[in-house]
Structure 1
Amino acid sequence: MTAFTDLFGIEHPIALAPMGGAAGGALAAAVSNGGGLGLLGAGSARDPAWVERELDLLTAGTTAPWGIGFQCWAAPPALVARTLERGPAAVMLAFGDPAPFLGAIRDSGARLIMMVTDVAETHRALEAGADVIVAQGTDAGGHGGSRGTIGFVPAVVDLAGPTPVLAAGGIADGRGLAAALALGASGVLLGTRFLASPEALQTPAAAKALLDGLGEDTERSSVLDIAHESGWPARWTGRALRTPFTDRWRDHEDALRADPDARRAFRAAEERGDPEAAVVWAGEGLDLISDLVPAADLVGTVAREAAFAAARLVRAFPSPDTEKHARGR
């Protein structure tokens, strides 16, 4: 048990990253049913009908605690307030000012989870009264910052004091969970690993790309955000599998911003399903993913792997009390 599992009354210290458009209701329900905390990926919530449909699937699919995640820079406060009527155990906020959402979240009784990518964001999350902080390293897929996971997580833990911290970024198996706990975290937030599950909202081609790809095949840049004209704040770049398009425009972002024809052509190719325009957000943990695993099973597998990893650590570094007891036998 950890402070995170105690807070939500769940079995395993594992949460689903609320990946916009990919972490739908079926995936979130499966993670919760497996003993973790499933978080629906509402993202910017620009499609309220999609959010409502996925919430219906989620609430019909589990009676265990679940939550939902939003991007502060784009989510409509009114829609966030409506989702709170569905009774989430937690709301996760990331990327931007949380102030417009805090009152409604607190009034609903939901726990506030805030994701941070640097020290300044960590201080703001603590000031906002976050119940849980997610320390996301640059290894993570999708949008994020520039801090390395292994150095950033313990820094956030030290700042957070009694507030539980989840580690995120490049973690894809139980060894990563055990490492996160050793760094002082109370659990992990997994994204890319759960993308490789049948419940994720992924095309077969994207699933295959995840299984075939390596961590070194990913890169963090703003090229895809510029091409999509998404409005993402430039301070948070996105990590995805490289493509001919990202190779073409790497280090030429200003030229892409000035070329509307190139942006339109990319989006048209994406809509046609052109593999060279496929966007697969993924983190550096890809090397550890070789098969599609049902999400509920994956939660248990990661937890068991972590237990084995922790046992190895205990054998390698027995406590003074353990050594004293062994000598006295």
Structure 2
Amino acid sequence: MTLSTAFTKLFGVRHPIALAPMGGSAGGELAAAVSRGGGLGLLGSGNGDADWLAREVPIVAKGTTGPWGVGLWTWAIDVGAVERVLEHGPRAVMLSFGDPSPFAERIRRAGAALILQVTDLEEARQAVDLGADFIVAQGTESGGHGSRHGRSTLPFVPLVVDLAAPVPVLAAGGIADGRGVAAALALGAAGAVIGTRFQATAEAVVHPSIATAIVEGRGQDTERNRVLDIARGSQWPSRYTARTLGHRYLDQWRGREAELAADPQAQRAYQDDVARGEVPPLPVWAGEAVDLITDLPHAADLVAALGAQAEDALTRAGRH
């Protein structure tokens, strides 16, 4: 069977799978590999840094003839950042974490597909009103940042599907194999946005220790928190926590976030520990499905495998 959805039809891809535009790890090589494999590769541009785009966009443009796009953190950008992204001619632009209204129409006028990630129903209603081409419903199982007041993927996705119809929805959060993709389709989504699984691939821009930690990680060891953002001086808004694997500073400061934020000496100690190699340069962003990740494949092969697994899962489900 062929998994044909509104997502595969619009982008002309073989599989209803998109790379989550993870800041720092979804670079040009990874996005290109996902697109070559038959999915939609999305660069994790974060704040739209000009130097980063100048380095990574040529890599993805040269590395694939398939569609690709760029993801931005809405809270961290201005119109100039969006303009810089659009100059590179992405097939899609995904906005996450913040108010997309100042940028939505500009993206649509440029001819790029507008993908808006949402973490609650109010954001979903706004995405519909802004004319999103696709809405990503992110559940709290996801690795990295998300709403501290969000909902789990299983109940959240069908709610957004019903609210947004006929706008197609993509599911995100806790999806790390083809069975998760099949489940997303069964919930009414047109595809899945996958992050943690793609961090553990040959093309991801991550330190080898992070890839190893993901392969060895367990879902019960992940936790949503603000401690590590505060300790490293990140400017992420307080409404967004981040799911990570365990960390020494998390154990030390859990439940004492306000105290940590008011203690510049503790924050300097974190930077000193990073410089000495006593803690990793970045937290290990990882979703609850991390247990399902046991290898470090090439991303193009992974996309094909996920698609085949999803087809098989749906076929088996249809027999019952």
Q: TM-score, normalised by structure 2?
A: 0.96
* d(CA) in 2 for partners of 1:72, 1:278: 21
Out of 19, 35, 38, the position equivalent to 1:35 is: 38
Counterpart of 1:11 in structure 2: which amino acid?
R
- Which residue number in structure 1 is paired with residue 108 of structure 2? 106
Summarize deviations over 1:48-68 as a string: whole Å, max 9, x none. 201220111111111111000
Give the counterpart letter for 1:144 in structure 2: G
Q: Work out whether 1:228 is the aligned partner of 2:226.
A: no
Q: Report how many residues are paired.
A: 315
> Partner of 1:187 in structure 2?
191
Q: Distance in 2 between matches of 1:301 and 1:226?
A: 38
Summarize the alignment of residues 232-243 of structure 1 with structure 2, pairs less than 5 Å apart.
232-243=236-247
* CA displacement, residues 73-98 of structure 1 (integer Å, 9 cap, x when unaligned): 11132122122121111000011111
Q: CA deviation at 1:278?
A: 4.8
Amino acid at match of 1:134: V
Partner of 1:210: 214
* Contact 1:225 1:232 (8 Å CA) reproduced: yes
Deviation at 1:275, TM superposition (A): 3.5
**Could you say what secondary structure the match of 2:102 adopts?**
helix
* Contact preservation (8 Å) 2:50, 2:84: no
Counterpart of 1:230, as a letter, is S
Gaps of 5+ in 1: 317-329
SS at match of 2:38: coil
Extract unaligned runs of 5+ from structure 2: none
> Is the 8 Å Cα contact of residues 176 and 293 (structure 2) preserved in structure 1?
yes
Q: Which amino acid aligns with 2:202?
A: P
Q: 1:120 aligns with which of 119, 122, 125?
A: 122
User: In the alignment, what sits opposite 1:64?
Assistant: 66
* Match in the other structure for 2:181: 177
Establish whether residue 53 from structure 1 lines up as the match of residue 38 from structure 2: no
Q: Is the 8 A contact 1:40 1:67 kept in 2?
A: yes
CA contact (8 A) 2:44 2:71 kept: yes
The answer to whether the Cα contact below 8 Å between 1:244 and 1:276 also exists between their aligned partners in 2 is no
2:20 is the alignment partner of 1:13:
no
Q: Distance in 1 between matches of 2:53 and 2:116?
A: 20
C-alpha separation in 2, matches of 1:272 and 1:56:
34
Q: TM-score, normalised by structure 1?
A: 0.93
SS in 2 for 1:202: coil
Could you report, residue by residue, the CA deviation over 1:185-234 in whole angstroms, capped at 9, with x for unpaired residues? 01000000000001001101111111111111110011111112222111
Find the counterpart in structure 2 of residue 307 from structure 1.
311
1:165 to 153, 159, 169: 169
Select the residue among 259, 262, 281 that pairs with 1:258.
262
Q: Which has more radius of gyration?
A: 1
**Structure 2 vs 1, CA of residues 53 and 163 (structure 1 numbering), >3 Å: closer, same or farther?**
same
Q: 2 CA distance for matches of 1:130 and 1:266?
A: 40
Q: How many angstroms does 1:259 deviate by? A: 0.8
Deviation string 1:238-271 (CA, Å, 9 cap, x unpaired) is 1111111111111010110111011111123224
Q: For the aligned residues, what is the CA RMSD?
A: 1.1
Q: Distance in 1 between matches of 2:141 and 2:192?
A: 14
Q: Give SS of 1:63's match.
A: coil
Q: Distance in 2 between matches of 1:276 and 1:105?
A: 36
Contact 2:47/2:81 (<8 A) preserved:
no
Give the drift of 1:277.
Answer: 6.4
Corresponding residue of 1:323: none
Q: AA paired with 2:134? A: V
Shift of 1:148: 0.4
Determine the structure 2 residue equivalent to 1:283.
Answer: 287
1:305 Cα deviation (Å)? 0.5
Check whether the contact 1:139–1:170 (CA below 8 A) recurs between aligned residues: yes
Instruction: Say which SS state the counterpart of residue 298 (structure 1) adopts.
Output: helix
- Matched position secondary structure for 2:243: strand
Q: Deviations over 1:131-185 (max 9, x none)?
A: 0000000000011122101010000000111111110000000000111111000
| Partner AA of 2:78 in structure 1 | P
CA deviations 1:97-150 (Å, max 9, x no partner) are 112212321221000000000001000111111000000000000111221010
Aligned twin of 1:273: 277
Instruction: List structure 1 segments (4+ residues) > 3 angstroms apart after TM superposition.
Output: 275-278
- What CA distance in whole angstroms lies between the structure 1 residues aligned with 2:51 and 2:275? 21
